[in-house]
Amino acid sequence: MFLIDFLHNYRPQPVFLRLGFWNIHWYGLLMAMAIFLGLALIIKIAPKYKAHFQSVVFNIVIFGFIGARIYYIINEFPYYSSRPLEIFKIWEGGIGIYGAIIGGILALFLYARKHKFSFLFLADLIAPALILGQALGRWGNYFNQEIFGKPTNLPWGIPIDAANRPVEFLNSRYFHPCFFYESVLDLFIFVFLFLLLKSQIKKATLCSGAVFSWYLVLYGLVRFFLEFLRIDHEPILFGLRLGQAFAAGAIIIGISMLLKIKNQESKIIKEQGASKH
């Protein structure tokens, strides 16, 4: 299979194109493509809100990127505390998805409050685009040789340069492609969320927050279990890797929201039934 052979034999490099002193990195290119694809999808789903989404996506990108960078720097604080100027070398990669999600949610909340939109209305519309963008953006980590797991002899194991391996795995060459596992699972989540969103629109229950809640639960589950494979060093919080702790929090919040939605729907059904008698 071509994809398995590609993953196993190709040695990814971070630079897509060199133009004199200017380098175009795969990471930045794929992030830009993810943003464009996400915006295009949102506009296709809800064209009458095109102007609003162009503004809100811009805010989400700015807040999300700042949040993602802060998360990564906190994660790698011992490194950056001795090399503060490298904090600004964003073209070399180094962002954390949970920081991006938190920053994006903050931007969405502020925009909804300013323009008197329902936050859950916007969150439901954006959730499928967000997970689709994450699926594409993970390939940027591949070209940076990031987001890989334990050593493996499986035929789809990816080669990692010695400079990018943790010191305890310097003698290993092939590693689990955690970025790929997450990218594929994100695509499955996208299909589910997209179909759910279409159903919500038809039923005129878009403000429920169900789509966004399922995003939190499903993506949280993916990240929680994939973290067991990863070997990059992360701070420990409540006995879990930081990424797992955030994933567990997302799952709990998402399930709580879904239970609240279920209770609200049951209450409405009972009230409608009582009004008919």
Is the pLDDT at 206 greater than 60? The verdict is: no
Is the pLDDT at 277 greater than 70? The verdict is: no
H-type alpha helices, 172-231: 178-203, 210-226
What average pLDDT does the chain have?
86
pLDDT: which is higher, 45 or 256: 256
pLDDT value for 275 = 60
86-95, 159-168, 186-195, 232-241, range with the lowest pLDDT: 86-95
pLDDT: which is higher, 131 or 86: 131
210-214, 226-230, 236-240, range with the lowest pLDDT: 236-240
pLDDT band for position 231 (cuts 50, 70, 90) = very high
* Residue 219 CA, distance from chain mean position: 8
pLDDT value for 56 = 79
Range 4-39 burial, b when 16+ CB lie within 10 A, else e: eeebeeeebebeeeeeeeeeebbbbebbeebbebbb
Structure confidence by residue, pLDDT tens digits, 115-138: 888 888 889 988 998 899 899 989
| Residues 207 and 260: beta-carbon distance below 8 Å | no
Pairing of strands 22-25, 158-159: unpaired
pLDDT band for position 181 (cuts 50, 70, 90) = very high
Q: Residues 166-183: what's their mean pLDDT? A: 94
| Residues 52 and 115: beta-carbon distance below 8 Å | yes
Query: What single-letter DSSP state applies at residue 116?
Result: T
pLDDT value for 100 = 84
SS3 273: helix
pTM metric for this prediction = 0.86
Q: What percent of the chain has pLDDT over 90?
A: 37
